[in-house]
Structure 1
Amino acid sequence: KQQDGFRYSARDIAVKRAADHRCPVVLGSATPSLESLHNVNTGKYHRLQLTQRAGGASAPTIKLLDIRNSDLNNGLAPQSMDAIADTLARGEQALVFLNRRGYSPLLQCHACGWVGQCDHCDVSLTVHFGRRQLRCHHCDAYKPLPDSCPSCKNHSLTYKGPGTERLEQTLKTTFINTQVIRIDRDTTSGKGAMRDMVNAVNEGKPCILVGTQMLAKGHHFPLVTLVIMLDIDGGLFSPDFRGAERAGQLLTQVAGRAGRAQRKGTVLIQTHAPDHPILGTLVRQDYDPFAEQLLAEREQLGLPPCSHTAVIRAEANSLEACDSFLQAVRRGTGMPGNDAQFIGPLPAPIARKANRYRCSLILLAQQRKQLHTLLNRARAAAEPLKPGFALRWTIDVDPLEWF
């Protein structure tokens, strides 16, 4: 889904063009979206299932590691460290997955509580230790990494939480004689860097890969037999209603890196919520029952894909300007009618990015025709308002994100 500029879904355009030309289209995925599965259930799509892994490889064993009250070493549980050691001793490779680059997501003063914040966004700055920088992952602004607290001048600065850079350092310190390869946006920006790292892994020597979503799919590492996944809990408890779906897809994709050849693979998922029902379904029964469970919940709540949505977004130099504009659009649109509703206007969870404030007005309808009728009325209400260059507004149909 193209989210910036001209908004469109490449998948949906492919399906529409295929329909226009009476041409079959194949959508291939180990983790199909709930929209695609809903289309299967309603007879719009025909499902073809691949029941075996390529090359006859067996599915990995997935285990949950309860890390509550565990003594973590920069995010890694003792059981995870032992599993890595055993894997390396067998001459195999391990992959540690954390979808958070940098050294640490937060720098804080232990004396006065100061936190390194971005001057342009409502987020904390991420520590990039090798570059000696505090960097914003939203607007890309950066500052030098301070040696002492800018507020109280104390030197007791603490790093809260690990990123891939910190994991790399921890693993290099623990496994001194083993190559640790970090694959994220910071290490693969140079020409040929990704190719060189993949070639190093495929040499077949015991090594540890550390990486972000860049490692989740599209790579075939025959000797990777252990995958350790950190911080799955963020997706399970996300305020975004698609959070659990994304977490399940990511887990399944990352798990697919383990045991892709003849050797059996193992996946360890570190979690503070081992009893979470959705996580339990995913681990014990695979992706399909997990997705069907989520679909049932979406239907009960009247959320996509069991309904249709659009978002009218506004961004301006003040939150009040965004809210006032969207309130006027909502009033001008009138009552949504039966089986349709407005949600908002609501400020985005990160309200300010790059000194621009953002709000959303969400439209929900049970029927597609009903949604477009509402949208036409909303557009007619918005256009005469003439907010000028200080405020920009957009319409996004079938949004992947509400904010």
Structure 2
Amino acid sequence: MQNSSPPRAPRVLGIAIPSPLRRLFDYFPAGAPPSCGWVPGLRVRVSFGRRQVVGVIIECRDHSELEFSRLKPIDACLDNAPLPADWLWLCHFTARYYQHALGDTLANAMPVLLRQGRPFEARTRERWHATDTTTEHDERLTRAPRQAALLKMLGQHPRGLTSQAIFAQSFTREQLRALEAKRLVQCREETLTQNTMAEGKGLLASPALTLNAEQSAALAVLHEGLERFHPCLLQGVTGSGKTEVYLQLIEAVVAKGRQALVLIPEIGLTPQTLGRFVQRFRVPVVALHSGLTDHERLDAWQAASSGRASIIIGTRSAIFTPLARPGVIIVDEEHDGSFKQQDGLRYHARDLAVMRARHHQIPLVLGSATPSLESLLHAQRGHYRRLTMRQRATRHPPAKLELTDTKARIRRGGLVPPVIDAIGATLDAGHQVLVFINRRGFAPTLACHACGWMAECDHCDARMTLHRHPPMLACHHCDRRRALPDACPDCGSADLRPLGSGTERSEETLGELFPKVPVYRIDRDSTRAKDAMDRMLTEIRRGEPALLVGTQMLAKGHHLPHVTLVVVVNADAGLYASDFRALEHSAQLLEQVAGRAGRAAHPGRVLVQTMHPDDPNLRLLAERGYEALATTLLEERRIAALPPWRYMALLRLESPNEAQLSTMASQSATIMRDHLQQSGLAVDCLGPVPAPMERRQNRYHLQLMLSAQKRSLLHEACAWLVAWLERCPEARRVRWSLDIDPQTLS
């Protein structure tokens, strides 16, 4: 006869606490257990030092390295059920792979309100319905005209109205309660995210577009892998209709009762992407990005976790959204650097998307016109299925880059005369022009024409940017601000001049050259106000002749059908940087910017200003396109033994004390090399060397680089180094972090 007694409660709970310490902390369970019992995944409130924190139970066991008398009890259990299993798996993997503390990983991956101990439940709202509209002229309402009017309004809305909508029409809760007491209306509670599919209506709110041959072929391949892990690299030129392929793939996934997660690189793209999905589908679509309030983020998270939301769209942090029925993951613009978190938990959302799709055995789509070299190499090796779309949805081919030599030419606002003439001709034809300059502010710096002094930041190895609105000098690295000097602080000369051009200067110059044409500047400074960017894009899409001046914010993903000329003010800025990925990233950006031209009825043109028109890589990009340049760069990386052919990790160390930092960095390098030699691990250790910007925010920065042919060897070496740093007393006097698969050396 089997023993049916319940399992014995654990004596010890191993809890992950939000801290940089890579270990669990032991507590003993207190109070009545939740209905599910003590299981991993429950949130608990515990005392940690002098404060109370919210942690997550990871282990339930009967033993502890500490004496039981020294263990603290938990203060409260916050959940009746554990957090979603798929989310817990992803957090465990992320902490392991990126060599990060599990407690801190869990805290970063959950909404702020859950970190604060709020219940993991959906917010609800009231929806009022008329029970019988025929009683509108009931004698009970003859002396209550407002109640009668309210009942009439509700009768005109079969699906009912929310309390908020009713109060907006100047009705009161007392009137609702009075009608409810007369049984003329009833109230139902509903979650904020409800299924919007009306009974008898289909999944689509608007019909799908007709696909061309390339789109149809790509979609057919994607449909083949709907029931398994099927990673595909969808490489389509800008304007080739990748989004329509995504929409029709998602239609097939949602029709099977499953969910789709779509990652996009920029928060600025969220409204237009969300709008397109909402217009197409009748199912709930939620967005997750940094612009949401804490309550909105938790609502969206809970809707996805419960399965109410069928489509989830978000920026990089949305990769941690729990899904009840995962069906597909799509990463749009997979090459984009914004998918990599650059501080704290330094994860890459694209790479986590690959692992998550494999874990769930669902298809993965990585879309881009300019794929990363990592993804291209995976496709070459057969790890990804490569799908190409070279035809634009319009009849016009993608615009070619035309290199314009700027040597020995007078510039106005960064523009040379032939380019200014081309801008004028385009505006005269009734079209729009996009001027791309990846520097905000009026000018990169302020200089003295008499002695050569330049405005430099006191806290960084960088020059301060000149701004005109408002007038000031600002450091874009530490955000330090300074008033404009009346004279040169070195020689006293009043001949101070702006050096170079930024978006503000280009805007001012274009306004002077073309006074009858509106100029829209789109950068981080001009779009700080809520909805500022949406308002400008609405004006731009009216189609009247206009000049658009913008940074990367304008270059990515936006459909600007009336732009037929794109001008790149300075193509050299990113081509000759010290980072080995600089050329790849600059080429991707140039191609993305070029893709804004000629997306509708008229062909496009792209003028690229450069001091080095004979540079072989730039010429290769202009004449044969990104794919040819990527092939060359992949071969160069193979010869130089650089990623993606090898795996890399970067130990970053920083401190305000330069001598102390140098000693610690040298000690770390020596200890690491000794360990590698003794263990026989085939891992290279390079450095320490100064970071590309050695002094930033009044702190000095040094780096130690590890690289290996095999990922497992690199992680073994990194785990040993992290463990040594955590034990080393000197390491506590500096700030250090380990960046697995760094995307930039700065």
Question: Per the shorter chain, which TM-score range?
Answer: over 0.9
1:312-327 mapped onto 2 (5 Å cutoff): 312-327=651-666
Match of 2:639 in 1: 300
After the TM superposition, which of the residue ranges 339-348 and 79-88 deviates more from structure 2? 339-348
SS at match of 1:387: helix
Question: What is the letter of the counterpart of residue 35 of structure 1?
Answer: E
Q: Pairwise mapping of residues 337-356 of structure 1 onto structure 2 (< 5 A)? A: 340-356=683-699
Q: 2:551 aligns with which of 204, 212, 215?
A: 212
What's the CA shift for 1:339?
A: 5.2
Partner secondary structure for residue 687 of structure 2: strand
Aligned residue for 1:47, secondary structure, equals strand
Corresponding position of 2:540: 201
Amino acid at match of 1:108: A
Aligned partner (choices 54, 65, 68) of residue 407 of structure 2: 68
Deviations 1:194-249 (A, max 9, x none): 01110111111111111101011121111100000021112221111000001100
Q: Aligned equivalents of 1:88 and 1:296: distance in 2? A: 43
Pairing 1:163-178 to 2, within 5 Å after superposition: 163-178=502-517
User: Is contact 1:180–1:207 with CA below 8 Å preserved after alignment?
Assistant: yes
Match of 2:722 among 379, 385, 397: 379
Which amino acid is the alignment partner of residue 371 of structure 1? L
Consecutive unaligned residues of structure 1, counting only runs of 5 or more, are: none
Query: Is 1:103 aligned to residue 442 of structure 2?
Result: yes
Tell me, yes or no, if the aligned pair for 2:400 and 2:622 is still in contact at 8 Å: no
The counterpart of 1:84, out of the listed 416, 420, 423, is 423
Amino acid corresponding to residue 70 of structure 1 in structure 2: R
SS in 1 for 2:715: helix
TM superposition shift of 1:25: 0.4
Aligned residue identity for 1:354: Q
The aligned residue for residue 30 of structure 1 is: 369
CA deviation map 1:277-326 (0-9, x unaligned): 11111111111111111001000110000000000110101232222212
Q: Which range is displaced more, 262-271 or 140-149? A: 140-149
Distance between the aligned counterparts of 2:587 and 2:452, measured in 1?
A: 35
The DSSP-based 3-state class of the residue aligned with 1:182 is strand
Shift of 1:143: 0.8
Aligned residue number for residue 588 of structure 2: 249
1:357 is matched with which residue?
700
Is residue 40 from structure 1 mapped to residue 383 from structure 2 by the alignment?
no
When the two chains are superposed, the root-mean-square deviation of aligned CA atoms in Å is: 1.4
* 1:10 positional shift: 0.6
- 2:737 is aligned with 1:394: yes
Task: Quote the offset at 1:267 in angstroms.
Answer: 0.2
Equivalent positions of 1:253-272 (< 5 A) are: 253-272=592-611
SS of equivalent to 2:638 = helix
CA contact (8 A) 2:725 2:731 kept: no
Give a deviation string over 1:150-182, Cα, whole Å, max 9, x none: 333321001110001001111111111111111
Select the structure with the greater relative contact order (CA < 8 A; seq sep ≥ 6). Answer: 1
Q: Shift in Å at residue 389 of structure 1? A: 5.2
Contact 1:319 1:359 in 2 (8 A): no
Q: Structure 2: any 5+ residue segments left out of the alignment? A: 1-339
How far the C-alpha of 1:390 sits from its partner, in A, is 3.8
Determine whether 1:238 maps to 2:581. no
Give the structure with higher Rg (CA).
2
Which stretch shifts more, 386-395 or 226-235?
A: 386-395
Supply the AA of the counterpart residue of 1:203. Answer: R
Contact 1:317 1:390 in 2 (8 A): no
Q: Indicate which of 96, 107, 112 corresponds to 2:451.
A: 112
Counterpart of 2:397?
A: 58
Whether contact under 8 Å (2:430, 2:544) holds in the other structure is yes
User: Which SS does the other structure have where 1:350 is aligned?
Assistant: strand
| 8 A contact 2:654–2:734 mirrored in 1 | yes
How much has 1:66 moved relative to structure 2? 1.2
| Paired residue type of 1:114 | W
Distance 1:79 1:16, change over 3 A: same
Structure-2 separation of matches of 1:174 and 1:323: 53
Measure the CA separation in 2 of the matches of 1:294 and 1:121. 32
Residue 13 of structure 1, aligned match among 342, 349, 352: 352
Aligned match of 1:144 in 469, 480, 483?
Answer: 483
C-alpha offsets along residues 340-395 of structure 1, whole Å, 9 cap, x if unaligned?
Answer: 32221011121111111111100111111221222123223322222365411111
TM-score norm. by structure 1 comes to 0.97
Distance in structure 2 (CA, Å) of the matches to 1:92 and 1:282: 26
Counterpart Cα distance in 2 of 1:243 and 1:57: 30
CA 1:284–1:338 in structure 2 vs 1: closer, same or farther (change >3 Å)?
farther
CA distance in 1, matches of 2:668, 2:603: 57
| Alpha carbons 1:95, 1:209 under 8 Å: kept | yes
What SS does structure 1 have at the residue aligned with 2:548?
strand
Taking the aligned partners of 1:198 and 1:168, their CA distance within structure 2 comes to 16
Q: Quick check: 2:400–2:623 contact (8 Å CA) kept in 1? A: no
Per-residue deviation, 1:2: 1.0
Note closer, same or farther for the CA distance 1:61–1:331 as it changes in structure 2 (3 Å cut).
closer
Q: Which amino acid aligns with 1:59?
A: P
For 1:389 and 1:283, locate their aligned partners in 2 and report how far apart those are by CA, in whole Å: 50
Matched AA of 1:121: C
Percentage of pairs with the same residue:
46
Report if the CA contact (8 A) 1:102-1:163 is conserved. yes
Which deviates further from its counterpart, 337-346 or 313-322?
A: 337-346
**Structure 1 residue 98 displacement after superposition:** 0.5
- Give the counterpart of 2:649 among 310, 318, 327: 310
> Does 2:721 match 1:367?
no
Whether the 8 Å contact between 1:319 and 1:347 is mirrored in structure 2 is: no
How far does residue 275 in structure 1 lie from its aligned partner after superposition? 1.2
